[in-house]
Amino acid sequence: AQSVAQPEDQVNVAEGNPLTVKCTYSVSGNPYLFWYVQYPNRGLQFLLKYITGDNLVKGSYGFEAEFNKSQTSFHLKKPSALVSDSALYFCAVRDPTSGTYKYIFGTGTRLKVLA
Amino acid sequence: DARVTQTPRHKVTEMGQEVTMRCQPILGHNTVFWYRQTMMQGLELLAYFRNRAPLDDSGMPKDRFSAEMPDATLATLKIQPSEPRDSAVYFCASGLGGINSPLHFGNGTRLTVT
């Protein structure tokens, strides 16, 4: 069965420092991986995705994510955090061999960027 | 900028009442998902549709929840009768049919059942 784990409930980082939000996955086939961000009282917004190709994927708002097949990870990164990056971040996976269109979401990681 | 529209944004109702939540997916999107978000359970998939046909509603309590797509521009989620444990934020999301297509979420309906 496909699954996604976000091992940290919360990540605190100082403004200007690099940030990493962790995600690991488990699927039977090659994964399609996504990151979403949720601001208060809003729906989730798509940040970036990995389908195939380069392991480093660039997305919106200066975020990027690194796909590591051997470690089954897809960590979200940003070189320099902004206070406005404070939000809830979700990793999601789709397994193209599963025969379904389901997205499996992680439990979310709350990012706090401190001024 | 195309967006998924959900109504109402907030709903407060008494236990036992019927609740209907509506979603207008982005024009041209052929998959629609309903999620429920709570602090305890996180994001739960309730149901999803492709080309208006229900593909999976195994996440829904069958005795009280129902989801439909009367047409391509409207998806509905009904709860009858509602219970306090149904209090949550309900999100609708739509997407193109491709496996690599991201979802576009509405801003949700915050439901409070007293």
Per the CB < 8 A criterion, the answer to whether A77 and A63 are in contact is: yes
Residue whose C-alpha is closest to residue B88's, from B67, B110, B59, B62? B110
Min distance A25 CA to chain B CA atoms (Å): 16
Per the CB < 8 A criterion, the answer to whether A64 and A57 are in contact is: yes
Among B56, B91, B97, the residue with its CB nearest the CB of A102 is: B56
Q: Which residues of A touch B93 (CB under 8 A)?
A: 43-44
pLDDT tens digits, B44-58: 999 999 999 998 888
**Distance of CA B97 to CAs A14, B34, B85, Å?**
40, 16, 33
Instruction: Check CB contact under 8 Å for B43 and A100.
Output: no
Residue whose C-alpha is closest to residue B51's, from B28, B35, B21, B19? B28
Indicate whether B97 pLDDT > 80: no
Residue whose C-alpha is closest to residue A108's, from A36, A42, A2, A16? A36
Instruction: Give the integer Cα–Cα distance in Å for A81 and A113.
Output: 7
Contacts of B46 (CB under 8 A, 6+ apart): B34, B35, B36, B57, B59, B60, B65, B67, B77, B90
**pLDDT confidence band for B99 (50 / 70 / 90):** confident
Among B55, B100, B106, the residue with its CB nearest the CB of A43 is: B106
3-class DSSP state for residue A36? strand
pLDDT for B100 equals 83
Indicate whether B87 pLDDT > 90: yes
Q: How is residue A29 annotated by DSSP?
A: S
pLDDT in 10s for each residue of chain A, 115 residues = 788 999 999 999 999 999 999 999 998 888 899 999 999 999 999 999 999 888 999 999 999 999 999 999 999 999 999 999 999 999 999 877 776 778 889 999 999 999 9
Residue whose C-alpha is closest to residue B75's, from B18, B15, B9, B26? B26
Instruction: Check CB contact under 8 Å for B50 and A44.
Output: no
Per the CB < 8 A criterion, the answer to whether A51 and A32 are in contact is: yes
pLDDT for A96 equals 73
Q: Which residues of A touch B59 (CB under 8 A)?
A: none
Instruction: Check CB contact under 8 Å for A46 and B104.
Output: yes
**pLDDT confidence band for B2 (50 / 70 / 90):** confident
- Percent of chain B clearing pLDDT 90 (strictly above): 83
Q: Which residues of A touch B104 (CB under 8 A)?
A: 46
pLDDT for A115 equals 94
Instruction: Check CB contact under 8 Å for A105 and B42.
Output: yes
Q: Give strand pairing partners of B88.
A: B111
Compute the average pLDDT of residues B33-50. Answer: 93
Instruction: Check CB contact under 8 Å for B43 and A108.
Output: yes
Among B99, B105, B108, the residue with its CB nearest the CB of A32 is: B99
